[in-house]
């Protein structure tokens, strides 16, 4: 399943993210958000590189307002890495691929 970024919703969030056996990086984004569009391809590349160790998911905040609200997300893009159902790393805004790679490696 390497290279696959799962689209998740408020209804699938708990099962796909919080109950996942693997860590999950969730990209909270919106179609109108420029930085979200810029970080999207980076997330895809990381999913290809790390897809066997960590799951990657996207949550459209416009269509799914409950999940971002639960985690206090006020700006997008926000990336949260969940491990064992807990928020272990939160990154807000556009960041370099190398920074994201380092954050992912530090949690594996």
Q: What is the model's pTM? A: 0.95
- With CA atoms as reference, report the closest residue to 25 among 54, 48, 50: 54
Structural element, H or E, at residue 6: strand 5-8
pLDDT, one tens digit per residue, over 62-101 is: 999 999 999 999 999 999 999 999 999 999 999 999 999 9
**Catalytic residue at 33?**
yes
The residue from 5, 8, 36, 81 that is catalytic is 36
pLDDT, one tens digit per residue, over 29-47 is: 999 999 999 999 999 999 9
CA 92/CA 39 separation, integer angstroms: 11
Beta bridge partners of 27: 58, 79
Could you confirm whether domain 5-107 is CATH 3.40.630.30? no
**Catalytic residue at 36?**
yes
Domain boundaries, the chain: 5-107
The residue from 33, 42, 95, 107 that is catalytic is 33
């Amino acid at each position: 399943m390497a290279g696959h970024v799962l689209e998740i919703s408020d209804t699938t969030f708990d099962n796909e993210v919080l109950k996942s056996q693997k860590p999950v990086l969730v990209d909270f984004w919106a179609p109108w958000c420029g930085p979200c569009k810029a970080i999207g391809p980076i997330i895809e590349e990381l999913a290809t590189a790390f897809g066997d160790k960590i799951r990657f998911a996207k949550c459209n905040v416009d269509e799914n307002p409950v999940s971002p609200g639960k985690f206090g997300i006020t700006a997008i893009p926000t990336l949260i890495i969940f491990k064992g159902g807990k928020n272990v790393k939160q990154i807000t805004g556009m960041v370099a691929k190398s920074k994201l790679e380092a954050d992912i490696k530090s949690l594996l």
